[in-house]
Structure 1
Amino acid sequence: MNGEKIDMTESMRKGIYILPNLFTTGSLFAGFYGMVATMNGDFKSAALWILASSIFDGLDGKVARLTGTSSKFGVEYDSLADLVSFGVAPGLLMYKWALQPFGRLGWLAAFLFVVCGALRLARFNVQVNTVENKRFVGLPIPAAASMVSATVLLFYHFGWPSSYKKVAILVLIYLLAFLMVSNFRYYSFKDPELIKRQPFAFLVLAVLLLIVIAAEPVKMLFIIFLCYIASGIVGFVMTWPRRRRLEKMIHNKHHREDR
């Protein structure tokens, strides 16, 4: 622990990388302004600002990796910004938009989302050097917050009654909270192969996807985030038989060694 503090102090004396941390600050600003919009009753704008925050959050890591400016300070700053932008901001949005009529049960449900997001971030920081880079363990908190925002925007788009949103948000909170602290694996989009040469058909598909999103942005954003959330569950179910066989092999091996 003392060694880590000394390393951090020495790193701070040398200075910090400006560019990736500016993107992190942009993410934090968008999340904070989302809370301001929530308190002013402008829930649609709050949802949009949280989505904007997720864009900045995605850029800061990529900029740091591409420019070789990753640092321990940046990782810690990013985690603190994520907790505000993707934990507190969507938690407050869900409470003010749908859960306030439930009183204590409402804000406790919103707190559940925040604390599971914090646990997800803490686990990520601990496991960052021990798990594969292509997969996240548990639903990433930016994806959970983006799903909340997409749901809010979908309700405004269709003009659904307020009675529906109470049930929808309650179900969504418990689902997202569980997925964030689960062992389901989600694609991280950090695969270096993504930025290498790809078949021409990939470009055509990407352009078609952008056109569809531009035509129906609210519906498509909701569908995209829903599919991403479902991907971890589907992947877990599909790999279950293989994991069971592997566990049995390990158990049998240990049993023979004990004998």
Structure 2
Amino acid sequence: MAELQARKPLLDPERRRKGIYILPNLFTTAALFFGFYAIVQAMNNQFEQAAVAIFIAMVLDGLDGRVARLTRTQSAFGAEYDSLSDMVSFGAAPALIVYEWALKGMGKLGWMAAFIYCAGAALRLARFNTNIGIVDKRYFQGLPSPAAAALVAGLVWVMLDNGISGESVRWYACALTVFAGISMVSNVFFYSGKEINLRRSVPFFVIIAFVVGLLLVSSYPPGVLFGLFLCYAFSGYVLAILRFFRKPAEAAPVADGEKADL
């Protein structure tokens, strides 16, 4: 009887809820692995593989939160682990890749541009962690760190695919890196798409658009992905300009930080 009483707290549902859920954290660990892998490949001058690894990490990072919500396995541990993983995959890794590929020969300006990006990602994630209670999930405040990482990695990938060296476009790479870093900590609002419910029925044209999108990406992944994220990065500024010219009575949206995942 004493043994059963000793084991009883271990079966308490409250204790189970405070445990570490393996499924969503496996996706987070996989994203962290590809972020680390990107750093290793950049150090070995394998920049194309490093850039592709960033995109794989981005896909996995988008899945862990959705898996946690669908399986109801969200936890405080998972949220903190996800933020640390994001800092490696979308903060340190892209900064190191673009520095080694294009900015290294620019002296102080090169590493300062890379640091601006890295610091922007850290501040972006910290701001999200302190703004979790803000309710409007339709928008991100500042460019999301995965999108910023895809922007930088996409530039590296598309240039290498066309046989263009980093030294030839180092000024463009520097400008884009600084732009991505500043955009992450800006107050510009970017559409999040969080209100899209994948379990609801959708019009038929949505399926057609999804198929067309897959065909476009598969036709030329480096160029199409870089173009998509470049358009997304500028979309927030376009929305800000349009909102500026609207009636003053219209309030600006209140952003939801990074993600329910990121």
TM-score, normalised on structure 2? 0.86
Q: How far 1:170 moved relative to its partner?
A: 0.8
Q: Which runs of 5+ in 1 are unaligned?
A: 1-9, 248-259
Q: Which runs of 4+ in 1 moved over 3 A?
A: 10-14, 161-164, 192-195, 242-247
2:98–2:153 contact (8 Å) kept in structure 1? no
Q: Residue in 1 aligned with 2:10? A: none
Deviations 1:199-245 (A, max 9, x none): 11111111111112111211111111111111111111111133744
Q: Residue in 1 aligned with 2:202? A: 198
Q: Residue in 2 aligned with 1:149? A: 153
Q: Say whether 1:209 aligns with 2:235.
A: no
Q: How far 1:101 moved relative to its partner?
A: 0.8
Q: How far 1:161 moved relative to its partner?
A: 4.4
Q: Say whether 1:179 aligns with 2:183.
A: yes
Which SS does the other structure have where 1:16 is aligned?
Answer: coil
TM-score, normalised on structure 1? 0.87
Between the aligned residues of both structures, percent identity stands at 45
Deviations 1:44-90 (A, max 9, x none): 10001111110110000111111111111111110011001100000
More helix by share: 1
Distance in 1 separating the partners of 2:108 and 2:16: 43
Distance in 2 separating the partners of 1:196 and 1:233: 31
Aligned residue runs from structure 1 range 127-166, under 5 A: 127-166=131-170
RCO (CA 8 Å, sep 6+): is it higher in 1 or 2? 2
Q: Residue in 2 aligned with 1:22? A: 26
Deviations 1:113-152 (A, max 9, x none): 0001100000111112214112111000011001111111
Q: How far 1:11 moved relative to its partner?
A: 6.8
Q: Say whether 1:59 aligns with 2:63.
A: yes
Distance in 1 separating the partners of 2:17 and 2:73: 16
Q: Which runs of 5+ in 2 are unaligned?
A: 1-13, 252-262
Q: Say whether 1:83 aligns with 2:87.
A: yes
Q: How far 1:162 moved relative to its partner?
A: 3.8
